[in-house]
Each structure stands twice: as C-alpha cells, then as structure tokens.
Amino acid sequence: MKWMMHVMAAVMMMFVSVGAAQAADAPACDAKTSPIVNQQDANKRCPAVCTQVGYQSWNGQWTNTPPSGAGPVCGCAVKSKDAKTSPLANQKDAESRCPSVCKGVDGIWNGQWTNTPPSGGGPVCGCYQMKAADVKTSSIANQQDAEKRCPSVCTNAKATWNGQWTNTPPSGVGPVCGCLTPSCGGT
C-alpha cells in the first residue's frame, strides 16, 4: 500500500507539471552585473546574480549592451507566487481557471497548479508576479473596441492586457489600457 502512495504522488507531480512554463518563457527583468566575457562566464555568474537580487532564476539571456544602456545585465525570470483557488479537477480545469485567478492578483499564470501545496494552504495556481501599469492609447469606444485593441497596445509595451481600460483614468493622461508588466526591482 505504501508503494502505491509513492507511485500516485509521482504521477500527480508529473501531471501537475504538464504544460509548466520554462524560465525562458517567464516574464523577465534585467539584473546589473560586471562585464560578461562570454557565454561560459554568463553560465557561471548569472544564476547567482539573479537569485542574489531576488529574482526566481536566470533565464539564459545576457548582454553587455542592453537597450536601456544600464550596462552589463543578466536576464532574470520574475518570481512566482501562489494564488488560492477552489479545488481543480485536472489540467484542463486549471488551464481554464488559473489565468483568471492569476489576473485577479495582478499575475500571469505560469502553467503550474496543485490542490495540495507544501504550505498546506489549499488549492493554488502558480502566478508570475507582475505589476499593473496603464498604457496610453487613443479613445476607446466600448468593451468590444477595448478587446480588439488593448491586447496589442499592451504587447507593444512588452506587457499583457489585464482586461481593464478607461478613457478617464485618475492620472488624467487620457485613454489607457490596463496592462501587467514584470514586477522588476529585485523583490
């Protein structure tokens, strides 16, 4: 009977991992470092650089000349957090529900879920930590117009549309699409 529990646990872990996003697929942030000599040097140093400043992991990317001009950087995957949900029946159920669960906590689903997390807190969806950002656009006529335009407005800003929009934001900057961007800053 004990061996059956181990087999079931292994199968469950494999099942939960199906479709999980890889670090390279995760939203990314740059972590400053000293000049990188070559790929071998990056392989040696970047994993530690990313974890030391609080990111989840190194995503395999690096450059000595980023577009921001910030100097040499390692590309780092943003951290994940768990978002509570009601019990999930299977992978298909998770694929259907977890994106919305994560959006509700300003996150993007990372492809992972479990009904029995190590914390014991109940069913959760794994979400990349993001932050909300308004991206300016031209006037939006209605919800249908927003659904048509905002996803590309956010994508052009290297973000993901969170389903929100307004023509009159509190900031007074004019019409905006609500977007989620990587929560950079090392925390």
Q: Render pLDDT for 148-176 as a digit per residue (tens, 0 to 9).
A: 999 999 988 888 898 999 998 877 888 99
Q: What average pLDDT does range 56-63 have in this prediction? A: 91
Q: Report the CATH fold assignment for 28-77.
A: Dna Ligase; domain 1 (3.30.1490)
Q: Quote the DSSP letter at residue 86.
A: S
Q: Name the token pair of 83.
A: 């978002």
pLDDT for res 186: 46
Share of the chain above pLDDT 70, in %: 85
**Average pLDDT value for residue range 138-149:** 95
Q: Given pLDDT bands bounded at 50, 70 and 90, which one contains residue 147?
A: very high
Give the three-class secondary structure for 165: strand
pLDDT at 185: 66
Of 18-27, 130-139, 166-175, give the lowest mean pLDDT range.
18-27
Q: How confident is the model at residue 25 (pLDDT cuts 50, 70, 90)?
A: low
pLDDT the model gives residue 27: 84
Provide the whole-model pTM.
0.66
Averaged pLDDT, 122-146: 92
The pLDDT confidence band at residue 80, using thresholds 50, 70 and 90, is confident
Domain parsing of the chain, residue ranges: 28-77, 79-187
Rounded mean pLDDT, 24-41 = 87
CA dihedral 104, 166, 147, 79 (to 10 degrees): -30
Give the residue-averaged pLDDT of 171-182.
88
Tokens linked to 169? 């934001």
Contact 61, 43 (CB under 8 A): no
Domain 79-187: state its class: alpha beta
- What is the number of alpha carbons within 13 Å of residue 98 lying toward its C-beta? 29
Q: What is the pLDDT of residues 81-91, one digit of tens each?
A: 899 999 999 99
